[in-house]
Structure 1
Amino acid sequence: MKKRMVIFAAIAAATVFSPISAHAGEPIKAEVGTDIVSSYLWRGSRLDGPAFQPTVGLEWNGLSLSAWGSTGFSDACEVDLTLAYSIGGFTVGITDYWAASTGARFFDFSAETLHVAEVNLGYDFGPVALNWYTNCLGAVGCTPEGAKAYASYFEVSAPFSLGGIDWSAAVGATPWANDYYGAEGFAVICASLTATKEIALGSDFSIPVFASLMANPRSEQLFFSVGVSF
């Protein structure tokens, strides 16, 4: 892969989106936090065991830039950089995923790069949200014939409240054959249910505790993870 990875895509996207955010007086919002999880679950797969997953981000007039990571007790780590723009319920973004063993070079953009760039389009209708993701650079996946598959994933999610707890149900699928998600055609690869509850630790302090049950109908696997957010 040539050196046209997400850094360049981010610059181009920022150039496009910045004029949309015309209110110069809007303050920049920042956030920092971390999750601690018993298992790192992602799109119907268990990627790692217990892990620390920090995040830091900036947002201004719907334009956001964030970094998210995952580090467990294995010889592996992940750093994801996301540039996105949201207006109303609509979101468009690009994420650079980088997952590697300790000692790997982050700035390796050769044909053997460990970076994967993914574009995302989504709309939140309120009762349900729809999101579509497509790998565009790096490991885009291959078809059974060996052609580039541009592996994609789409998800339908719905939040709701029940029994004093916040819930979210989601179903995700890959639409065509690709070896990135290990699918021979259209396949539902993720069905999840997540419950979140604020646990009070004092009169003015609480932490969110969440539990996720995730199934992969294609591989017939079931996973369960719990975590806390700070």
Structure 2
Amino acid sequence: MEGMKKIVLFAMGLVACATTHAQETESVETTVAADVVSQYIWRGQDLGSVSLQPTLGIGYKGLSLSAWGSVGLSEPADTKEFDLTLAYTAGGFNIGLTDYWFNAGLDPEGRYFKYDAHGTNHVFEANIGYDFGVASLQWYTNIAGNDGENKDGKRAYSSYVEATVPFKLATVDWAATAGAVPFATTFYGTTGFAVTNLSLKATKDIKVTDTFSIPIFGQVVANPCSQKAYLVLGFTLQP
């Protein structure tokens, strides 16, 4: 009888461990997606024409690691980019660190694994923000790598602040965004405080089958600092 009790307890322990493992596995989130856009516009800056922008990510209990890239489809000279982001979200609060890599920068050979302080194409950026529900606010600052310079020719610690207000209108998801660069920096091409991004984006899911739809989005972007404006159309592929 004592031996049977031990077997039962051991079996119950295995079931408990298996259940816990299953619950933990189920809480792991993965992302595999790709955007195709008519223009690559980033924070009011024109970085390329028609582009493919894949995303691969994994998340667990608010902690996430994602990879994002961009490559031009119509212009070989367009920016090639590969970013890695480590982020943490708790409620509305979020914080993150991104390693941007561009094919153009201080290293003319465009080597990914070159991290020299004065010879790399990487830019390291920290961000912090809060989503209030009706609006979200984000602050981004370059902390290392190929940052821009300020008016004195020193590292600018280039920063960008952005507010976004989402809303729904006529069954379409909308987002209005205003972004600004608070200080002078060659990274964003500003000589002081400047509004660099005013945008309005609309997204609508187009149903293909009962289990698959394609989000299509359109976006109007204006950069008052550079006095330029853009109209972007794109769609997302995600299983």
Q: Which TM-score bucket, shorter chain as reference?
A: 0.7 to 0.9
Q: Which residue of 2 aligns with 1:105?
A: 111
Q: What letter is aligned with 1:104?
A: G
Aligned with residue 97 of structure 2, among 70, 90, 94: 94
Q: Which residue of 2 aligns with 1:173?
A: 180
Query: Structure 2: how far apart are the matches of 1:227 and 1:60?
Result: 29
Cα RMSD for the two superposed structures: 1.6
5+ long unaligned stretches in structure 2: 1-19
Q: Which residue of 2 aligns with 1:20?
A: none
- TM (norm. structure 1) is 0.87
- TM (norm. structure 2) is 0.83
Query: Structure 2: how far apart are the matches of 1:64 and 1:100?
Result: 25
- Structure 1 residues 57-72: aligned runs within 5 Å: 57-72=57-72
Q: Which residue of 2 aligns with 1:164?
A: 171
Who wins on radius of gyration, i.e. which is larger? 2
Q: What letter is aligned with 1:120?
A: N
- Structure 1 residues 39-188: aligned runs within 5 Å: 39-73=39-73, 74-75=76-77, 76-100=79-103, 104-110=110-116, 111-188=118-195
Tell me by how many angstroms 1:103 deviates: 6.3
Residue identity (%): 46
More contact order relative to length (CA 8 Å, sep ≥ 6): 1
Tell me by how many angstroms 1:172 deviates: 0.2
Q: Which structure 1 residue ranges, 4+ long, deviate > 2 Å from structure 2? A: 23-27, 101-104, 202-205
Q: Which residue of 1 aligns with 2:204?
A: 197
CA deviation profile, 1:67-111 (whole Å, cap 9, x unmatched): 000011324411000000100000000000001069621001122
The number of equivalent residue pairs is 208
| Higher-helix-fraction structure | 2
Tell me by how many angstroms 1:198 deviates: 0.7
5+ long unaligned stretches in structure 1: 1-22
